[in-house]
DNA sequence: AGCGTTCTTGCGACCAGTTGCAACTCTCGG
DNA sequence: CCGAGAGTTGCAACTGGTCGCAAGAACGCT
């Protein structure tokens, strides 16, 4: 994941306190893990990282926090073509919307930004009279290396 | 779901026998359910429909058949923005790739076909040197009716 | 700082999806 | 039509995600 320079640690926590959403030790730990992630993490990975800070944190708390973040549009939920298992992956929502490209052979995930994607979404909004709040484009196939 | 006229019942079963994939009573039932579906079904709905034909069919068989169909590119797996629950939805793969648009308020699912989507995929293939086998674009937001 | 309200947590029970295994059944060749 | 062999099934056990509930923590107000 890009982890752009614009990503200030503590941003999620700031969002919470601005909105009067309670900050607990458990939530603080989850937010830290998500903010400092350098790749897409699934719920299990997030749980394990959180438990290295506080082993008593329950899995339901992590799931509830992920739901909260999702509801507020602070993270995106991805399938990444279910390369491994059938669970979901999470990433901090960034400035630029990007496409996820998953190689079905080596498992590499590539992110791709293009204005064509923005145009396509605008077209959907116009043609379907629909207000888009979330969107997700994922593709699976073979990367150049895996095609020899 | 469109259920286009080009959709001949028995097509999936024909595909199986052409390839020497065994056709069992259980698989036949699952294929029938998927071929005659008029909307996106989740695994639980498929299981219940199959069990109305043969009550002894186990859930693992349905899941395994769905995996088989997915592996052969005969069905697409969708999240539909997890409007209801967190499971996946399935649909027979059609001639035209389409976008799924989910209203987060009323739950309506709209399908949309546009050449812009094809162009975007071509661009990804070219710019990322990637061979696309599967793709999935889902958007969530509010439909015109739900915005008054 | 102490208090009360309200929200959050951990727990246990539950449900959905996966997997190893032994019993079964398809398919093909004879 | 039958039998052999490979592939498939149901089952049971397990894992991952959800939910109701009672105990516990956060935070605004004094
Ligand atoms: Mn999914
Ligand atoms: Mn569809
Ligand atoms: Zn690859
Ligand atoms: Zn709507």
Give buried/exposed letters for A43-81 (b at 16+ CB in 10 A, else e). Answer: bebbbebbeeeeeebeeebbeebbeebbeeebbbbbbbb
DSSP B142: E
User: Which residues of B, range 1-60, sit inside 8 Å of A by Cβ?
Assistant: none
User: What pLDDT shows up at residue B83?
Assistant: 86
Task: Check whether A46 has a pLDDT greater than 50.
Answer: yes
> Are B123 and A140 a contacting pair at CB < 8 A?
no
What angle in degrees, to the nearest 10, is found between the helix axes of B43-53 and B59-71? 120
Is some CB atom of chain A closer than 8 A to the CB atom of B130? yes
> Are A121 and B139 a contacting pair at CB < 8 A?
yes
A25 and A75 in a single domain? The answer is yes
- Per the model's pLDDT, the better-predicted residue between A83 and B33 turns out to be B33
Sequence-ordered strand ranges (E) for chain B? 41-42, 75-78, 89-92, 99-103, 109-112, 131-142
Find the range with the poorest average confidence among A58-62, A63-67, B5-9.
Answer: B5-9
B89 and B99 in a single domain? The answer is no
A83 and A101 in a single domain? The answer is no
- What is the chain A residue with the closest CA to B122? A116
Average pLDDT of A69-83?
95
B70 and B5 in a single domain? The answer is yes
B33 and B71 in a single domain? The answer is yes
- Under the banding of pLDDT at 50, 70 and 90, the label for residue B8 is low
How close is the Cα of A91 to the center of ligand 3, in Å? 21
What angle in degrees, to the nearest 10, is found between the helix axes of B11-18 and B25-35? 140
Task: Check whether A96 has a pLDDT greater than 90.
Answer: no
Find the range with the poorest average confidence among A78-82, A84-88, B50-54.
Answer: A84-88
Q: What is the pLDDT of residues B74-115, one digit of tens each?
A: 999 999 999 888 899 999 998 889 999 999 999 999 999 999
A84 and A103 in a single domain? The answer is no
Task: Check whether A1 has a pLDDT greater than 50.
Answer: yes
Domain stop point among B54, B72, B93: B93
Containing structural domain, residue A120: 95-148
pLDDT mean across residues, chain A: 93
User: What pLDDT shows up at residue A95?
Assistant: 83
Average pLDDT of A51-63?
97
Q: What is the CATH number of the domain that holds A54?
A: 1.10.10.10
Report d(CA A112, CA B135) in Å as an integer.
Answer: 14
- Under the banding of pLDDT at 50, 70 and 90, the label for residue B5 is very low
B65 and B105 in a single domain? The answer is no
- Using CB atoms within 10 Å of the CB of residue A38, give its burial: 0 to 12 exposed, 13 to 18 middle, 19+ buried: exposed
Give the contacts of A57 (CB within 8 A, at least 6 positions apart): A26, A29, A47, A50, A51
A1 and A67 in a single domain? The answer is yes
CA atoms within a 13 Å half-sphere pointing along the CA-CB vector of B73: 8
In contact, B120 and A114? CB cutoff 8 Å: yes
DSSP A39: S
CA-CA-CA-CA torsion for B90, B120, A103, A90, nearest 10 degrees? -70
Q: What is the pLDDT of residues B29-45, one digit of tens each?
A: 999 999 999 999 999 99
Asked if residue B57 keeps its beta carbon closer than 7 A to nucleic acid strand D, the reply is yes
Average pLDDT of A131-148?
95
A29: nt with nearest C1' to CA: C9
B77 chain-A contacts, CB cut-off 8 A: 82
User: What pLDDT shows up at residue A3?
Assistant: 47
What percent of chain A is modeled with pLDDT above 70?
94
Find the range with the poorest average confidence among A4-13, A60-69, B111-120.
Answer: A4-13
Report d(CA B127, CA A43) in Å as an integer.
Answer: 32
Chain A residues 90 to 129 with C-beta below 7 Å from nucleic strand D: none
Task: Check whether A116 has a pLDDT greater than 60.
Answer: yes
Average pLDDT of A68-96?
93
- Under the banding of pLDDT at 50, 70 and 90, the label for residue A5 is very low
A109 and A63 in a single domain? The answer is no
User: What pLDDT shows up at residue B6?
Assistant: 52
**CA-to-C1' span, A23 to C11 (A):** 21
Is some CB atom of chain A closer than 8 A to the CB atom of B119? yes
B3 and B74 in a single domain? The answer is yes
């Amino acid at each position: 994941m890009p982890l752009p320079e614009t990503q200030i640690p503590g941003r999620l926590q700031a969002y919470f306190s601005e909105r009067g959403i309670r900050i607990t030790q458990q939530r603080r730990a989850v937010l830290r893990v998500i903010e400092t992630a350098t790749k897409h993490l699934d719920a299990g990975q997030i749980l394990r990282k959180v438990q290295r800070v506080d082993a008593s944190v329950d899995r339901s708390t992590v799931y509830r926090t992920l739901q909260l973040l999702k509801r507020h549009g602070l993270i995106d939920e991805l399938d990444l073509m279910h390369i491994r298992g059938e669970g979901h992956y999470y990433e901090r929502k960034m400035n630029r919307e990007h496409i996820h490209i998953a190689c079905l052979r080596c498992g590499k995930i590539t992110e791709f930004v293009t204005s064509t994607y923005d145009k396509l979404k605008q077209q959907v909004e116009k043609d379907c009279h629909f207000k888009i709040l979330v969107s997700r484009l994922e593709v699976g196939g073979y990367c150049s290396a895996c095609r020899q």
